[in-house]
Amino acid sequence: MRLIMLGAPGAGKGTQAAKVAAKYQIPHISTGDIFRANIKNGTELGKKAKSYMDAGGLVPDELVCDLVADRIAQEDCSRGFILDGFPRTIPQAEALDAAVEKLGTKIDYAVDIEVPDENIIERMGGRRACLSCGATYHIMFNAPKKDGICDTCGGELVLRDDDKPETVKKRLDVYHTQTQPLIDYYSARGNLLEVDGTQGLEDVFASIVGKLGE
């Protein structure tokens, strides 16, 4: 099964992608993981990506697509994979289609976890991170035993800049502009699965599995 996980920042797609990968025993692939693996192994693609990252620039689409194409061609992806955070744009989606076609296969489904913006802003605004050990909490869903104090190390818990409402809103605006068109792209191909992401974590997972089939 070859899958793509779509959803706005904070929609929970990374969590769900990991659960789906475990259930179907397929690799959970994120572009961040691909970059790190190639840089660590000193591959030619990794060296190119590192040169852009070291300069503080974005890795160009063409190089990102080459890295993903190289990853999904590996043996552990022969039974399928789930891509998390890629593609982000229509050109990336078209490049991915071309890459899987070369392998004699296709993308089975793009799973879109739908969560309204206001829910995401509320969710992310409730996150708290420990300055000392990096542990994360949520004031509503996973609150620390003592307000503002980490259960693990006793460090101070803070609202990260990334999770502040104004920052989240900007990230959502970028998402809707860049990535929302992908929903139309996969919908037109008849392989888009839409899931209500406002449910509990296990209910979202059950909905995904129900749509994918056992």
Q: How far is CA 127 from CA 13, 39, 164, 189, in A?
A: 16, 31, 9, 36
Coil, helix or strand at residue 114: strand
Q: How far is CA 125 from CA 103, 114, 134, 139, 172, in A?
A: 42, 18, 17, 9, 14
Token match 């797609």: residue? 13
Q: Are 84 and 14 in contact (CB under 8 A)?
A: yes
Q: How distant is the alpha carbon of residue 98 from its chain centre?
A: 21
Sort 173 into a burial class: Cβ within 10 Å, 0-12 / 13-18 / 19+: exposed
Torsion region of 12: left, alpha or beta (phi above 0 gives left; psi -120 to 50 gives alpha):
left
CB atoms within 10 A of CB 7: 24
Contacts of 182 (CB under 8 A, 6+ apart): 6, 87, 88, 89, 90, 93, 110
Catalytic residues: 13, 88, 127, 160, 171
